[in-house]
Amino acid sequence: MKKRIIDCLTLILVFLKIGAFSFGGGYAMIGIIQNEIVEKRKWIRQNDFFEIVVIAESTPGPISVNVATYVGYKVAGIIGSIFATLGLVLPSFLIIYIISLFYNEFISNEYVMKAFSGIKCGVMVLLLSTVFKLSSKIEKNAYFYIVFCLALIIMILFSIFLADFSWISLILIFIGLTFGVINTALASKKVKKV
C-alpha cells in the first residue's frame, strides 16, 4: 500500500516534468520518457516500451496522453494511470489557460518567438537522438534495414505530396505487426519440424 502511494506520487511528479518540457509534440516526448522511465527509473523494460509506443500510435488521441496512461497503468494500475495522465496534462492546461487570458500580448511578443526558434533547434536534436537511441536498442538484421528504409521513403513521399497522411502511418504499423506475426508462425513451424 505504502509502495503504491510512493509510486503514484513519483508518477505524477515525473509526468508533471514531462508535461512541462515536452515541446514539439508526441515524438519528442517519447525521448524524454525513454530517459526518465526506462533508463533512469527502470520502471518499464525496453521491449515493453516499444509495445507502449506502438499502441499509443495506433489508438485514438494524442500519443503523449496514450503513453502516459499506459505507463501509469503498468507501474501502478488504474490509479497510476490517472496520476500519470493528470501530471502530463496539468502543465499545458495551466500554461494555455493563462495565455488565453493575455492572448494578444503573448502572440505579438518578439522575445517569445525568438526563444521558440531556439527551442525548435533543440527539439530537432532531441528527435534525432531518439531515433538513434531507439534503433541502437534493437537487433539490426536484413529485415530491419529493408523495412526501415521502405517505411521511411513511403512516409517522406506521402508527407511531401499529400496534405493528410496520418492514415498512412496506421497502415504501415498494421503491415509491421502482420509481418511480425507471420515471422513468429514460420519460426515455430521450423522448431516443430526439428
Partner 1 sequence: MIFLELFGVFFLIGLFTFGGGYAMIPLIESQVVSRGWINIETLYDFIAVSEVTPGPFAINIATFIGSSQGGILGSLCATLGVVLPSFIVILLLATILNRFSKSKYLSGAIDGVKPIIIALIASTVIMLMIKTFFFGGNSLTSPFVIDRTTIALFLIIFGFTIIYKKITKKDFNTILMLLISAIFGLIVF
What is the three-class DSSP state of 97? helix
Half-sphere exposure of 55 (CA within 13 A, CB side): 13
Size of the residue set binding partner 1 (CB under 8 A)? 106
Query: What is the nearest approach in angstroms of partner 1 to the Cβ of residue 102?
Result: 11
Query: What is the nearest approach in angstroms of partner 1 to the Cβ of residue 42?
Result: 15
Query: Which residue lies nearer to partner 1 by CB, 2 or 111?
Result: 111
25 binds partner 1 (CB under 8 A): yes
State which of residues 7, 8, 12, 31 lies at the interface with partner 1 (CB under 8 A): 31
C-alpha closest to that of 66 among 26, 93, 13 = 26
Q: DSSP assignment of 131-161, as one string?
A: HHHHHHTS---HHHHHHHHHHHHHHHHHHHH
State which of residues 1, 3, 42, 111 lies at the interface with partner 1 (CB under 8 A): 111
Query: What is the nearest approach in angstroms of partner 1 to the Cβ of residue 122?
Result: 3
Distance in angstroms (rounded) separating the CA atoms of residues 155 and 28? 18
Residues in region 131-170 near partner 1 by CB under 8 A? 131, 134-135, 138, 143-145, 147-149, 151-152, 155-156, 159-160, 164, 166-167, 169-170
Amino acid at 46: Q
What are the backbone dihedrals phi and psi of residue 42, each rounded to the nearest 5 degrees, phi first? 55, 35
State which of residues 5, 13, 78, 162 lies at the interface with partner 1 (CB under 8 A): 78
What is the three-class DSSP state of 128? helix
4 binds partner 1 (CB under 8 A): no
50 binds partner 1 (CB under 8 A): yes
95 binds partner 1 (CB under 8 A): yes
Query: Which residue lies nearer to partner 1 by CB, 2 or 96?
Result: 96
Read off the DSSP letter of residue 38.
I
Query: What is the nearest approach in angstroms of partner 1 to the Cβ of residue 135?
Result: 5
C-alpha closest to that of 8 among 63, 91, 93, 73 = 73
